[in-house]
Copies of this chain bind each other. A is one copy, B any other.
Amino acid sequence: MESNRKETRLSPEEIDFLHQIVDLSLDWMSKNRDVDEPIVRFRTPKELEGLIDTSITDKGTGMSGILNDLKETMKYSVRTGHVRFFNQLWAGTDIPAVMGEWLTSVMNGSMYTYEVSPVFSLLEINLVEKLHSLIGWKSGDGVFAPGGAHCNLLAILAARNKASTNVRKEGISDKFVCFSSIHDHYTIQRAAGVIGIGEDNCVKVAVDGVGKMIPQELEKAILEVKAQGKVPFFVNATAGTTVLGAYDPLGEIAQVAKKHGLWAHLDACWGGHAFLSKKHRHLLNGCENYDSVAWTATKCLGLPQQCAMLVMKERHALTKCNAMGKDYLFHEHDEKDWDLGEKTLNCGRRVDALKLWISWKVFGNDGFEARVNHAFSQAQYMTQQLKKNPKFKLLAEPQSLNVCFWYIPPSARGLPEGSEWDKKVDNATITIRKRMQREGKVLVNYSDLHGHDAHFFRMITCNPGATTEDMDFVLSEIDRLGSDL
C-alpha cells in the first residue's frame, strides 16, 4: 500500500471494478421495473451464511475476487425499489438522487465546516430555507440530521433547554412533562427517556376514530400535569401518523400549546410530502405556528437513505442548543455563519443535501408535486376497491397514503365481529404475509393498533412506479394466498 507517485491515474483494476459495479447497478435498477422479478428470495440467516462468504481473510480477495459475493448479496437482498414494494414508508428508486449519492461518496465531504464543504453547506442552507418558505416562515434555523428520529430528538432537546436555562449545564431538576398522541412515532417517547425527563413523563393523548389527536384531551392533560405541580414544556403533533397516516389538527394543537406556553413541534417526517402538493397542502394548515418541524425526503419522495431535516422558527436556536465552541474545528473566520456543525449532535456528518438538491432541481416543484399527487390518488383508488369488496374491511378512512385493512378469510365470513373473528382474521394476516414474503411477488406490511385485537395489512401507496393495476394485484394476491384460511 506504499504510495507510488507514478500512479497518477486510476489503475485498470480499479476502473474495471467500477464498471462492473455500474453494470450491476444498471441491471438492478432496470429490473426494479419488471413485475416478474422477485422482490425478495427469502432465506434465513443460517441459509444466507451458506450462500455468501462473509469471511475476511488476511490476504484479501482483490477487487475482482469479491464480485461473486456481491452478486449473491444482491440476489438475496430486498428490492425496495421494485414497483410492487409497499412494505415501508418509502419505495421506488430516484435515479437523479442515486446519482447524487454516487457523487457524495466520491467527493466525501463532511457537513461541519464551510472550509471543508463550501458548496454542500450552501446547498444545505438553501434547502433549509426552501422548507422555511414551504412552511410559511420568512426566516429561521435548520439542519439536516441522520434520520427523523434524530430530528425529533433535536427538537425536544431544544425545547427542554429553552424551558430551563440551567438544564444544559446543571442537569435536570424540574419535573418536565411532554405530550404526544397515542398514535405518534415511538421515537418521541424514547427521546423523552434519552433527554432525562423519563418515558413515563411523555403523556399519550387520545385520538379520534381516524387517528387524529383530540385537542380537548391535550388541554385536559396539560391542566392535570400542571395541577400535579409538574412542568409541561413540549407538545408533539404528527403530520402523517406511522400506522394510519393521520394528520393531527395542527392549528388547534398549536393554539393549545401556545396558550400554555409549551414548545410546539411538528413531526412531519412521514406526512411532510403534503408540503409539495397544492392539492394536499391543506393537511398541513397551521404548521406555521410550530416552533420546529421535522421532515424526511427519503419517504414519499423515495430518495436513498438518509435525508432528514429539522427546521426551527427561531434563528440560531439550534446553535444555542448544541454549540460547544471548539476552536480546533470551528475556527473564527469570515464564513462562520456557514459552519453548520454546531447545530447538530453530530461532529462529522455526511452530506445528505446534494441528492435532494439534484432531484428537486431536475424534477422541479412540478415533478415532486406530481409524485405526491400520484401517491394520494393510488390510496384513493385502493380505498374504493376495498369498500366495494366484501372480502376486505377497511380499518379507518385513510387520511393520506396509509391504507389499513383486514382480509376476511373464508372461515371468518359471516361470523359476528368478536374474539373468534379477531382470531381468524389475525391468523389470516400473519399467514398471508408470511406466504407473500416467501413468494416474493409483492410485499405489504402489517401492524397492530391500540384498540384492535387483530393484526391488519398496512398498505403504503407512495411507490412512484405503481399503478392501479398493482393496487388490484395486491388485493387479488391476498385473496389467493388466503383462500384456504
Number of identical monomers bound together in the oligomeric complex:
2
A255 interfacial contact with B, CB 8 Å: no
Whether the Cβ atoms of B168 and A198 lie closer than 8 Å is yes
A425 to chain B, nearest CB (A): 16
Name which residue of chain B comes closest to A15, CB basis: B26
Measured between alpha carbons, how far is A387 from B99 in the docked complex, in Å?
A: 47
Is A217 an interface residue when CB atoms closer than 8 A count as contact? no
* Known contacts A61-B361, A172-B172, A348-B306; A126 and B54 CB within 8 A of each other: yes
| Chain A 4-42 per-residue mask, 1 if CB under 8 angstroms from chain B, else 0 | 010111100011011001101110111001110000101
Bound-state Cα–Cα, A35 to B5, Å: 9
A69: chain B residues at CB < 8 Å are 361
Verify B198–A195 contact, CB threshold 8 A: no
Q: Which of B58, B76, B186 contacts A364 (CB 8 A)?
A: B58
Q: Which of A104-112, A218-226, A407-415, A474-482 contacts its partner?
A: A104-112
Q: Mark A190-212, 1 if CB is under 8 A from B, else 0.
A: 10011111111100000000000
- Give chain A interface residues in 121-173, CB to chain B under 8 Å: 121-123, 126, 130, 146-150, 153, 157, 160, 167-172
**Considering the chains assembled together, what is the distance between the CA atoms of A105 and B97 in angstroms?**
9
- CB of A119 within 8 A of CB of B70, answer no
Q: Is the CB of B458 within 8 A of A328?
A: yes
Closest chain-B Cβ to A168's Cβ sits at a distance in Å of 5
A326 to B168, CA, bound (A): 30
Q: Quote the shortest CB–CB distance from A267 to chain B (angstroms).
A: 11
The reply to whether B9 and A18 contact each other, CB–CB distance below 8 Å, is no
CB distance from A57 to the nearest CB of B (A): 5
Q: How far is the CB of A264 from chain B (nearest CB, A)?
A: 21
CB <8 Å contact, B115 and A78: yes
Report the bound CA distance from A351 to B146 in whole Å: 12
